[in-house]
Amino acid sequence: ECLDVAVQIARKAGKQGGVLSVPQVVQEAVKQEKRVSSKSTPTDLVTEADHQVEELIISTLKEKFPSHRFIGEESSAAGEKCVLTDSPTWIIDPIDGTCNFVHSFPMVAVSIGFAVNKELELGVIYHCLDGALYTGRKGHGAFCNGVRLQVSKEKDVSKALILTEIGAKRDPHTLDIFLGNMKKLLSAPAHGVRIIGSSTLALCHIASGAAEAYYQFGLHCWDVAAAAVIIREAGGCVMDTTGGPLDLMSRRVVAAGSQEVADYIVQQLQPISYGRDDHDP
């Protein structure tokens, strides 16, 4: 039931009482002049639509599941505790790719993950502007618009297309490490490195086999919660940049179709340190 509800919300539901659905809010807003403000840094953007969509998702889910807990990007920014407990918890990124959204660059997604006993159980990611709906449920496979997803089986990094994202930190030291990591992978030589501006959609491309690996420092739990289920169910691995198991709150991730490519990337990366999502405010 949780998966069905999440899919409805992410895709087409919510048009009750004249309320726009999640993709409609995004599709309408993308055409309009946006009121943009910034949060932690000048490049950490937020718009009215981010708040509107998060409110719509959480209020709809709360009606269905009043006892569940919620972690959402904009609620966390407003001071709500970002802590994963054993309770059933929805982990929501209302608009992933806000910077893309601001520029009408068409890589914008809604991401809804669900965890029970701190285990990720399901993930739904909807590409608001092209209609691709990615779903995954633990033990039941991953799909894009009903078609089963399968990761790339490539083991050789010199035949890999690698995706990454730049986090919010843009100081020269951080950027040097970021570029150094990219340089190592490009000189492996990987086929290429891409930055598309949406970590959830980039991770979906790992699940679909369109790219071999993804890594990032500085992403958040709501960027990876839903995608981790989808990638694992498509046969891929999602882990910490240290090579250990994924820690949802750590703001570090390596995901890949094959363990071999993931391990290679882990060995190359110089870490960039970010505070944890579940830090005390």
Active site residue 47: no
Instruction: For ligand IPD, give the closer residue by CB, 95 or 248.
Output: 95
For strands 147-148 and 69-72, give the pairing: unpaired
Residue ranges of the alpha helices (H) in 32-67?
A: 48-64
- Residue 97 binds: one of ligand IPD, Ca ion, none (C-beta under 5 to 8 A by kind): ligand IPD
CA pair distance 114, 112, nearest whole angstrom = 7
Instruction: For ligand IPD, give the closer residue by CB, 98 or 258.
Output: 98
The residue of the chain with the least Cβ separation from ligand IPD equals: 165
Binding-site ranges for Ca ion (CB under 5 A): 73, 93, 95-96, 98, 223
Instruction: For Ca ion, give the closer residue by CB, 121 or 223.
Output: 223
Amino acid making up residue 43 = T
Residue ranges of the alpha helices (H) in 81-122?
A: 98-103
Q: Does 198 bind ligand IPD (CB under 6 A)?
A: yes
Q: Does 241 bind ligand IPD (CB under 6 A)?
A: no
| CA geometry: angle 195, 12, 46, nearest 5 deg | 45
Going residue by residue from 98 to 117, which x/- string records binding to ligand IPD, judged by CB under 6 A? x-------------------
Q: How far is the CB of 51 from Ca ion (least distance, A)?
A: 10
Active site residue 278: no
Q: Does 254 bind ligand IPD (CB under 6 A)?
A: no
Q: Does 72 bind ligand IPD (CB under 6 A)?
A: no
**Residue 242 DSSP symbol:** T
Active site residue 96: yes
Active site residue 4: no
For residue 191, give Cα distances in angstroms to 149, 161, 185, 265.
Answer: 22, 5, 9, 14
Instruction: Give the active site residue among 54, 93, 165, 233.
Output: 93
Instruction: Give the active site residue among 54, 74, 96, 277.
Output: 96
- Residues sharing a CB contact under 8 Å with residue 164, sequence separation 6 or more, in sequence order: 181, 182, 193, 194, 195, 202, 214, 215, 216
Instruction: For Ca ion, give the closer residue by CB, 77 or 266.
Output: 77
Active site residue 73: yes
**Rounded-to-10 torsion of CA 101, 149, 133, 202:** -10
CB 122 within 8 A of CB 113: yes
Q: How far is the CB of 266 from ligand IPD (least distance, A)?
A: 19
Q: What residues make contact with ligand IPD under the rule CB under 6 A?
A: 73, 93, 95-98, 165-167, 197-199, 218-220, 223
Residues annotated as catalytic are 73, 93, 95-96, 98, 223
